[in-house]
Structure 1
């Protein structure tokens, strides 16, 4: 299982690099839709470029509010700082994340080949299909990167990263402008960050909207557009995710976890938890202990 990411000060996730010398992460798992309850269905973004390859099954990945279906044998490129999360997914996949600075050997390379792609507002993501010669090369390189990650051959990983970036550059459309994200997406991220940092407190719709400098109706519309849920639904889902993490990692009583995660009481928390996770908090904690054992 891919480890939970920590949140940076600006709301972006801090990726736990598997190869920290190169700002590189590789991980894979089998994912069913129910597994999205573990937090994969929560919208997030990070500075790293994401490359994902589906080896079995299919998934629906939401990128900036657009549903992207990735079938078996296909992959997806997600540009830096794009808002994304799993939706309907029953698949096995391999994933690599690499920070753009890994590719910036000098200023010329950065300005000529890296920034024009990472700042291209017309290129938030791209489906990689094997029948297309260009993206087929990218898929093979994702597999190679994944396979090499455990060997800790840094020169090989660096070389493969440049090779896959060469393929991505070939797929990039003509830039629309040099702005990496719209003001609307920035507003959504600011409102999500307000939830991430204040979920334990009583948050009102007005306070969430205020973080994005928008009115309440605009706030709700933006959440529906980018996250396909209301701000209140997102807040509750995030609270439940944090509660689930604490159930697994601590022995804190359920009632205390409920209060610490922003719920008004243990009974209400248990009801909300059961609707999403299919069991009570105590049963969830017990099942996770048995799994670890």
Structure 2
């Protein structure tokens, strides 16, 4: 699976269509990088093997084989194998709310989906076989993945996720509040500042510029980044510039110097140094390796 991140850091879901707004991705996190992102689709994840870590702007959770979780729409998160180099295979089920709700004014949407989607305090819900309901929910996630191995299973898949959603609603009625109001404010601020960086990463940015985008002080900006994504604003800016450069190296024949300047680096030498430190090889060699692996420019 290729992870495509738009300019505003929302994920463009590969394989999702308006005709059938559901997709299941079978992913090994040991060889697939999932950077910080969000998407308007909801997501259910089942851990097939190994162990993984999910990090949102407010919490970090680990999951092992046989466990899973729900991520609400528009939640900023990243996923990794729990141990570097170790296998962590997941089934990631993503669907747009219309998959279950039909049009936005239907009773299915307003009564069953909207209360979850508009709950600003709900980021995720963990499934760890804690009782018969969670066991049933995990069993249904396994069944949904198996259905994708066969053709003409669209109705069965939607029926399975209708059952999953009803179980999710029952879980939420008994769950404790998962996010207090202060953390909700923190999440809004970090997403605003990340969006500002993503829209202006080509420019020379100062801490004051980033803080001003969310109407906070420089010290509050630093605190927000550290508590939310465990990075400083400039570490995140560098990471994002390198991710953009990676994408251009893989998918274009643009000269390396032009890529460096286009992605906000002041010169080619500094770009080459930072890229090698982060990825282990120079940008030119990275391009050769990945374009050879993929059979040239996509």
Query: TM-score with structure 2 length normalisation?
Result: 0.87
State how 1:224-235 maps to structure 2 within 5 Å: 224-235=226-237
The equivalent residue for 1:205 is 207
Distance 1:175 1:99 in 2: 24
Structure 1 portions without partners, runs of 5+: none
State how 1:56-75 maps to structure 2 within 5 Å: 56-75=49-68
Give the superposition deviation at 1:145: 2.5
265-274 or 79-88, which moves further after superposition? 79-88
Distance 2:267 2:248 in 1: 16
15-24 or 157-166, which moves further after superposition? 15-24
Distance 1:104 1:35 in 2: 31
Query: TM-score with structure 1 length normalisation?
Result: 0.88
Distance 1:224 1:282 in 2: 33
Equivalent of residue 288 in structure 1, options 276, 284, 290: 290
Question: Equivalent residue of 1:182, what SS?
Answer: helix
Distance 1:63 1:160 in 2: 27
18-27 or 154-163, which moves further after superposition? 18-27
Structure 2 portions without partners, runs of 5+: none
Distance 1:210 1:31 in 2: 35
Answer whether contact 1:6 1:15 (CA < 8 A) is retained.
Answer: no
Q: CA RMSD in A?
A: 2.4
What is the aligned length?
285
111-120 or 191-200, which moves further after superposition? 111-120
Answer whether contact 2:58 2:187 (CA < 8 A) is retained.
Answer: no
Q: Within the alignment, does 1:113 sit opposite 2:112 as a pair?
A: yes
Equivalent of residue 51 in structure 1, options 44, 48, 63: 44
Answer whether contact 2:123 2:178 (CA < 8 A) is retained.
Answer: no
Distance 1:290 1:2 in 2: 16
The equivalent residue for 1:277 is 279
Q: Within the alignment, does 1:23 sit opposite 2:57 as a pair?
A: no
Question: Equivalent residue of 2:224, what SS?
Answer: helix
Distance 1:88 1:206 in 2: 35
Answer whether contact 1:19 1:149 (CA < 8 A) is retained.
Answer: no
Give the superposition deviation at 1:194: 0.8
Distance 1:19 1:147 in 2: 20
Question: Equivalent residue of 2:215, what SS?
Answer: coil
Question: Equivalent residue of 1:144, what SS?
Answer: helix
Equivalent of residue 90 in structure 2, options 90, 93, 103: 93
Q: Within the alignment, does 1:5 sit opposite 2:9 as a pair?
A: no
